[in-house]
């Protein structure tokens, strides 16, 4: 999740004071070229010093810490257990409780051993897959493969490892071959097709050739990696044991981080992360090509990448950087992704690359009418700000402008949508929350030294006092959670969405390591991102792990998958501090009534029931990791998945009868801007197909008109009396 930049800068200066004392430690470094191992030792010493002095709650570097590093590091080197043998692990295991000692003594024995062995095993593996692809594969043989790598034991010997590679290669070629057959069948149905059909043998040979090319490309990338690249993995295994958000940026990674902070993205407009051997889609950038295509989703796994009509390259097991390089490309060019959906189905998705404009990361709003009442929707993708230019636009100022525009349109309620909003500037959170309360505390912050600070909205002006709904999901994090928590604690609005938000209640600083070294001849040392503060709600509870729990929980197709902070290994714990002084909002008389009516609606909503059923099925599918390698059975499995998936088609086909409209100022803009018009049309279309937005608007309607529903009001009161 994104750091809260305001506090990054402030704590950065504090940390500089602490670390200024360390500069003298490094002044002895000779000016001449020094062997890389010496640079590695320097990095370990520098990183552990910076973390121990600046981290919010640094873990003790002891045997427990050592075991954690050992586990994380080996998983990072060989996540699918296709390289190391059990005999290698037996040899490595003596270092399981010695890594802490090696860190303190600046020793590299464990790293050197694993690095040297990995290079050998990777070289051996090349011969395994080449042999597996050298002759036609028998798809009639009845055998299976498990992709549950976490539970998979290491191969006992080279023979077993060789067979593991054979099966993995067979699974890859089998899925490609089945896809080729489907494509050919579709072509044969076309009246315009003039190509003669290829035989099974021809398709099988083509598939082996393309798979061999993919694997050779993959190993070519690996061969290009140097010792520093592998050492970065070791360093990160150490850093991440302090907490999941503390990490080392090698020089090239720091450069990419700086580019991403500029807000300008190119390619397909999707954020990726590594999950075992797979590359996973974690977020679609609003307005980007992938978002516009509506086929790619968060949670999808990328199996292959093809450039236009070129051969698809297998990217399973490939480094994330290398996968990104293959997906990125010039605007207007085509990239084809072979995707595995969370339900197990495999699809090929074509995307035309484009520039993802920063404009689509800005706030936008729309109006809609229900039962004669007009309501506004404000969508905020992130809490943006330009620290270098106080006069430039930021989320706080922009949301205030949108609220005023909606008021001029006569709206009677506002939906604030921060779903998929990963965070941003803390200052803007305080400003935005302040629009909906008279004045008071918004968030509490505790530093590493134990000092507590309360951030207030000190402006007595109340910009919006009408009904308010805040929409969240499991990807709403950091700043989004602060906003939702403040609105909930004040009982100022209704929080609707996933069972809980992401649960990231920590702040990180990004620190350039080069400033702490004088006279270095090692070149760029990179940077460190480390956790320095923790957020707390005004009621005293942390947002860490627990996030913000919705007042009204709506089913979500990914609700059973482990995707939050609480599911991340080594996440910092939840705790609480003393609450701040604040007064609960008492002017929304239909608050409890609106919640009761919404829950009653959801309980009888077939669309929501279908989403809940789909979520359980996806959870079940995520635990099924055995695939048949016999072609007929594999096809039957895929067909069964596709048939099952048809049951859930109404979820994507859903459409309400609401008409979403732009505000007058935007209507004028789109007259001369066809691109903006297309973007707004697509957004309005997506709103009309969003069952969650539909329910949020009905909640507003209940808050606005609830006093007319005396029968249900009496029911709510009766239930309260019974409970009390």
Question: Exactly one of 489, 551, 556, 702 is catalytic; which is it?
Answer: 489
- CA dihedral (449, 450, 452, 453) in degrees, to 10, reads 20
What span, in angstroms and rounded, lies between the C-alpha atoms of 649 and 637? 19
What span, in angstroms and rounded, lies between the C-alpha atoms of 12 and 60? 23
- CA dihedral (631, 633, 634, 639) in degrees, to 10, reads 120
Question: Exactly one of 286, 478, 480, 542 is catalytic; which is it?
Answer: 478
For the record, the structure tokens of 279 come out as 């590359």
Q: How far is CA 49 from the centre of its chain?
A: 29
Q: How buried is residue 217: exposed, middle or buried, by Cβ count under 10 Å (0-12/13-18/19+)? A: middle
Is 489 part of the annotated catalytic residue set?
A: yes
705-709: long-range contacts, CB 8 A cutoff, minimum separation 24: 705/371, 705/373, 706/589, 706/590, 706/593, 706/594, 706/597, 707/589, 707/590, 709/593, 709/597
Is 478 part of the annotated catalytic residue set?
A: yes
Continuous segment of H or E residues that includes residue 302? strand 301-307
Is 447 part of the annotated catalytic residue set?
A: no
Of 368, 420, 700, the residue nearest 556 (C-alpha): 420
The answer to whether the CB of 464 falls within 8 A of the CB of 587 is no
Continuous segment of H or E residues that includes residue 675? helix 674-688
Question: Exactly one of 382, 504, 529, 557 is catalytic; which is it?
Answer: 504
What span, in angstroms and rounded, lies between the C-alpha atoms of 669 and 356? 20
Residue 354's DSSP bridge partners are: 267
What span, in angstroms and rounded, lies between the C-alpha atoms of 273 and 434? 35
Cα angle 710, 716, 722 (rounded to 5 degrees) comes to 135
Q: How far apart are the two ends of the chain, measured CA to CA in Å?
A: 41
- Catalytic residue annotation: 478, 489, 504
């Amino acid at each position: 999740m994104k750091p809260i930049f305001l506090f990054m800068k402030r704590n950065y200066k504090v940390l500089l004071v602490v670390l200024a004392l360390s500069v003298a430690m490094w002044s002895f470094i000779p000016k001449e070229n020094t062997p890389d191992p010496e640079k590695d030792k320097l990095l370990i010493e520098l990183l552990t010093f910076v973390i121990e002095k600046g981290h919010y709650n640094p873990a003790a570097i002891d045997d427990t810490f050592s075991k954690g590093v050992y586990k994380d590091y080996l998983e990072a080197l060989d996540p699918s257990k296709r390289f190391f043998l059990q005999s290698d692990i037996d040899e490595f295991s003596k270092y399981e409780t010695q890594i802490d000692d090696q860190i303190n003594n600046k020793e590299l024995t464990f790293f050197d051993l694993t690095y040297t062995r990995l290079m050998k095993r990777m070289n051996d593996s090349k011969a395994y897959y080449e042999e597996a692809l050298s002759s036609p594969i028998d798809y009639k043989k009845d055998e299976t493969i498990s992709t549950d790598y976490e539970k998979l034991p290491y191969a006992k010997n080279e023979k077993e490892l060789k067979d593991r590679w054979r099966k993995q290669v067979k699974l890859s070629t089998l899925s490609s071959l089945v896809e080729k057959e489907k494509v050919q069948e579709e072509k044969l149905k076309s009246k315009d097709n003039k190509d003669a059909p290829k035989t099974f043998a021809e398709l099988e040979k083509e598939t082996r050739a393309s798979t061999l090319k993919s694997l050779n490309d993959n190993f070519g990338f690996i061969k290009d990696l140097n010792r520093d690249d592998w050492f970065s993995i070791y360093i990160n295994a150490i850093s991440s044991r302090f907490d999941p958000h503390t990490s080392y940026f090698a020089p090239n990674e720091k450069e990419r981080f700086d580019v991403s902070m500029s807000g300008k993205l190119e390619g397909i407009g999707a954020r990726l992360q590594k999950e075992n051997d797979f590359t996973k889609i974690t977020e679609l950038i609003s307005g980007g090509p992938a978002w516009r295509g509506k086929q790619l989703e968060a949670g999808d796994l990328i199996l292959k990448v093809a450039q236009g009509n070129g051969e698809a390259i297998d990217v399973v097991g490939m480094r994330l950087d290398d996968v990104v390089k293959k997906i990125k490309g010039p605007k207007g060019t085509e990239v084809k992704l072979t995707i595995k959906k969370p339900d197990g189905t495999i699809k090929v998705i074509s995307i035309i690359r484009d520039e993802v404009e920063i404009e689509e990361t800005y706030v936008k709003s729309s109006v809609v009418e229900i039962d004669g009442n007009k309501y506004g929707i404000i969508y905020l993708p992130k809490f943006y700000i330009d620290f270098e230019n106080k006069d430039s636009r930021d989320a706080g100022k922009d949301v205030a402008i949108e609220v005023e525009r909606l008021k001029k349109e006569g709206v009677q309620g506002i939906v604030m949508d921060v779903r998929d909003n990963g965070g941003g500037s803390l200052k803007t959170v305080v400003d935005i929350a302040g629009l909906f309360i008279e004045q008071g505390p918004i968030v509490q912050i505790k530093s590493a030294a134990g000092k507590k600070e309360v951030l207030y909205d000190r402006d007595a002006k109340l910009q919006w006092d009408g009904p308010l709904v805040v929409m969240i999901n499991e990807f709403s994090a950091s700043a989004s959670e602060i906003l939702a928590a403040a609105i909930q604690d004040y009982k100022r609005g209704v929080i609707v969405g996933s069972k809980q938000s992401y649960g990231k209640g920590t702040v990180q600083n990004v620190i350039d390591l080069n400033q702490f070294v004088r006279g270095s001849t090692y070149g760029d040392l990179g940077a460190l991102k480390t956790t320095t503060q923790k957020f707390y709600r005004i009621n005293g509870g942390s947002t860490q792990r627990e996030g913000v729990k919705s007042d009204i929980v709506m089913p979500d197709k990914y609700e059973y998958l482990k995707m939050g902070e609480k599911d991340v290994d080594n996440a910092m714990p939840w705790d609480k501090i003393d609450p701040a002084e604040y007064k609960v909002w008492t002017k929304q008389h239909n608050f409890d009534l609106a919640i009761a009516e919404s829950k009653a609606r959801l309980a009888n909503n077939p669309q929501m029931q279908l989403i809940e059923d789909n979520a359980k099925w996806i959870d079940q599918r995520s635990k099924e990791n055995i695939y048949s390698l016999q072609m007929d059975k594999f096809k039957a499995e895929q067909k069964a998945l596709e048939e099952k998936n048809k049951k859930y088609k109404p979820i994507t086909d859903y459409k309400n009868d609401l008409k979403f409209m732009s505000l007058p100022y935007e209507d004028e803009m789109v007259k001369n801007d066809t691109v903006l018009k297309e973007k707004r049309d697509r957004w309005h279309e997506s709103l009309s197909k969003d069952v969650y937005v539909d329910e949020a608007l009905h909640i507003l309607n209940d808050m606005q008109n609830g006093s007319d529903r005396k029968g249900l009001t009496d029911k709510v009161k009766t239930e309260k009396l019974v409970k009390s």
